[in-house]
Structure 1
């Protein structure tokens, strides 16, 4: 029986593995993908981190890139591979976990090819589980190409004709920016046009330098200011929202309300010329495969700084698990350090 099984091999799982190595625990990191870093490699081609190199270090190994550089998804994946090699982290890929069950003797972790037993489990699967697409997508004409942003790679995937991007977060605006660079294509946008946009540099310093200075990423979700930040609409970082919306071929149409064949119905109008739809409409969490787990109103596990209601079951990498930085590449280290202390009997 292993001391620990870590489920998820991206930044959260690797950060936890680093501490388990220091604690000389017998463990394995399990991931459903066939390659280290696949969770990043599977995203769109032009993706870059919002954070510069100096804010992306996992514990024990610096991100090998110049200060001020914004890494690509390939560079992140390569960093993960170097991390695994540097610390000789035991990995088991191509292993999708289907259930976790607590018994009197420990945990039974089941996958399609068998079962693993461990005294403790750390779930590090992150916040992006099930791509969410509004129900009205089933009413759209089969001649319209539809895809969730999870499957978007580049504008080359699109067919001829007008496009629609739905979703006003970072992903939605980045994809809108890329798709609308082709001035011959009309691109409709369905999302929040009042969202704040923050540049990556202010007065010669990176945005993250300022965030660190004022403690923006370190406020606890239990504090007054943390609750205020968590409940507010998050700004779009590093993308010129106003500039994109001002392009002649970009038309904001308000919220998507319904669809019927070629007609897509919005708050402000009805459009029948759309041939491509990219749904940048987020994800829904899925933790139903963990028996006996208590979930909160948003379907995330109830926990205190990663400690769940089930003894021996821990979480890391969840959004706002403790601070706004909990689900970020550079912010997960603090949560991993805290959990390591808890696992060692500290507080």
Structure 2
């Protein structure tokens, strides 16, 4: 029997593995992908972090890049691989967990070809589980190429003709920026055009330097200001929203309302010339594979700083698990240290 099974091999899982290694626990990190860093490599090719190098360190090892550099997804993946190598983290890849259940002996972590028994489980699968696409997508003609941003890699995936990008988050605006650089293609945008856009540099300092100075990423979700930040529309960082929306070939059409064959209905128009759609419409959580787990109204596990209602079951890397930075590459370290301290105290009892 293992002491711990960590489910998920990205920044959250690796941060916890670092602490378990220091505590000399018997554990394994399990991931459904075939290589470490695949969760980043699966995203679009031009993706860069909007946090500079100095804010991307996992515990015990600095991100090896110059200060002020904004790493690519390839650099993040390579950093994870070096991290695993340095700390000799035990891995079991290409293993999709199908269920976690507990009895008097401990936890049984099941997958297609077997089962692992462990005293404790740390779920580090992150916030991005099931790509969400609005129901009206099923009414659209098969001649229109549709893909969720989770599967978008580069512009050459698109067929010739007009395109539509749906979604006003960082992903939506970054993909809109990339696609609309082709001036010969009309790109329609469906989403909020009143979002705030913050530059990566301000008065000679990075945005994250200012965030750290004012404590923006450190306010607890339970504090008054934390609740205000959490409930407000999140700004788009490092992408000039106004400049993109001002391009002659970009047309904002408001919310997507409905569709039928090749005609798509928006708040501001009905359009039938669209040949490509990228749905940057987010994800829905999926924790139904964990037996006995209590979920909140948004489908996330009920927990306090990663400690769940099931004794011995922990979480890390959830959005706003404790602060705004809980699910970020650099911010997850604080939550990992907190959980490590909880585990250490539990061992002494």
Bucket of the pairwise TM-score, normalised by the shorter protein = over 0.9
How far off its partner does 1:300 sit?
A: 0.1
Equivalence for 1:123:
123
1:175 pairs with 2:182: no
Deviations 1:23-69 (A, max 9, x none): 10000000000001000000000000000000000000000000000
Match in the other structure for 2:148: 148
- 2:61 maps to 1:55: no
Pairwise CA distance, 1:344: 0.9
- Structure 1 position 10, deviation (Å): 0.1
Q: Tell me how far apart the structure 2 counterparts of residues 337 and 141 of structure 1 sit (CA, whole Å).
A: 50
Aligned pairs, how many? 347
Q: TM-score, normalised by structure 2?
A: 0.99
Q: Distance in 2 between matches of 1:215 and 1:36?
A: 32
User: Which secondary structure does the structure 1 equivalent of 2:150 belong to?
Assistant: helix
Matches within 5 A, 1:127-142: 127-142=127-142
Residues 93-139 of structure 1: CA deviation (Å, up to 9, x unaligned)? 00000000011010000000100000000000000000000000000
Please name the residue that 1:325 is paired with: 325
Would you identify which runs of 4 or more consecutive aligned residues in structure 1 move more than 3 Å? none
Q: How does 1:74-93 map to 2 (within 5 A)?
A: 74-93=74-93
Separation in 1, partners of 2:121, 2:224: 32
Structure 1 length-normalised TM: 0.99
Question: Residue 166 of structure 1 aligns with which residue?
Answer: 166
Report what 1:28 is aligned to. 28
Alignment deviations for residues 224-279 of structure 1 (CA, whole Å, 9 cap, x no partner): 00000000000000000000000000000000000000100000110000000000
Aligned mates of 1:277, 1:189 — CA distance in 2: 10
- 1:345 CA displacement: 1.1
Write the distance in 2 (CA, Å) between the matches of 1:93 and 1:331. 25
1:338 matched residue in structure 2? 338
> Which 5+ residue runs of structure 2 have no aligned equivalent?
none
SS at match of 2:81: helix
Per the alignment, residue 37 of structure 2 pairs with 37
How do 1:195-274 and structure 2 match up within 5 A? Answer: 195-274=195-274
d(CA) in 1 for partners of 2:267 and 2:2? Answer: 55
1:294 maps to 2:288: no
RMSD, matched Cα = 0.8
State the Cα deviation string for residues 187-226 of structure 1 (Å, max 9, x = none). Answer: 0000000000000000000000000000000000000000
Q: Which whole-Å CA distance do the structure 2 matches of 1:141 and 1:29 have between them? A: 42
Distance 1:192 1:334 in 2: 33
Structure 1, gaps ≥5 residues long: none
CA positional deviation for 1:303:
0.1
What is the CA–CA distance in structure 2 between the aligned matches of 1:293 and 1:286, rounded to whole Å? 12
* Shift of residue 328, structure 1, vs aligned partner: 0.2
1:270-317, Cα deviation, whole Å (9 max, x unpaired) = 000000000000000000000000000000000000000000000000
Tell me, in whole angstroms, the C-alpha distance in 1 between the residues paired with 2:87 and 2:184.
50
Shift of 1:175: 0.2
**Deviation per CA, 1:55-98, whole angstroms, max 9, x where unpaired?**
00000000000000000000000000000000000000000000
